[in-house]
Amino acid sequence: MDGAPPSPDTTHRMGVFTTNPRTVQDFHRANIPVWFVRDFNSAMEGFTNNVLSLVDARHFEGRIVTQKHSGFPCICNGKNDIADIVDMIHGYSRRWLTTSNPFDVGPLVTPASSSPPPVQVAEASSSSSRPAKRQKLSGNPTAKGKAQAKRPQDKGEAKVQRDPFATIASPFFPSAIPAWAAALQAVDQSTPPAMDPLPAYARKYCYPDPGLFANTPAQRRQQMLESWLRISDAWRASGNSHNGMKIQQWRDVLYIDYTSPVSTEGESTTHTAKRRAEALKILLPSGTTFREQKGVPFTWNGNRFSAGQSVPDDITREIMFDLYEQNFREDVLALDDLLYSPPPHIAGLAEERQRRGMPYELFPTIFSFGSYSPPNIGLSADNIRERLPFLMVFAKMMDAWPGEKPDIFRLGFRRQEISISKEQAHALEDAVARYYCQTFYNYFRRAPQIPHRLFSS
Q: Let me know if residue 281 belongs to a domain.
A: yes
Q: What is the pLDDT of residue 114?
A: 39
Q: What average pLDDT does range 295-312 have in this prediction?
A: 90
Rounded-to-integer distance, Cα 456 and Cα 173, Å? 12
Residues 222, 259: contact at Cβ < 8 Å? no
444 alpha-carbon distance from chain centroid:
20
* Position 70 in a domain: no
Residues, the chain: 457
Domain that holds residue 28: 1-45
**Is 128 domain-assigned?**
no
Name the more confident of 157 and 425. 425
Task: Return the DSSP state at 241.
Answer: T
pLDDT per position as a tens digit, 64-80: 656 666 666 676 677 77
**CA distances (Å), 335 to each of 65, 299, 318, 426, in order?**
36, 32, 26, 24
Q: Do the domain assignments include residue 432?
A: yes
Please give the average per-residue pLDDT across 401-416, as a whole number: 86
Average pLDDT, the chain: 76
Examine residue 327 and state whether it is found in any structural domain, yes or no: yes
Q: How many domains does the chain have?
A: 2
Domain-embedded: residue 125: no
Predicted confidence (pLDDT) per residue in 6-62, tens digit = 555 545 556 778 888 888 888 888 878 888 887 666 555 555 566 666 666 666 555
Least confident of 34-38, 99-103, 113-117, 283-287: 113-117
Residue 311, domain member (yes or no): yes
- The answer as to whether 152 is a domain residue is no
Residue 380 has pLDDT above 70, yes or no: yes
91 versus 167: the higher-pLDDT residue is: 167
**Alpha carbon of 37 to those of 1, 29, 30: distances in Å?**
12, 18, 19
CB 279 within 8 Å of CB 252 = yes
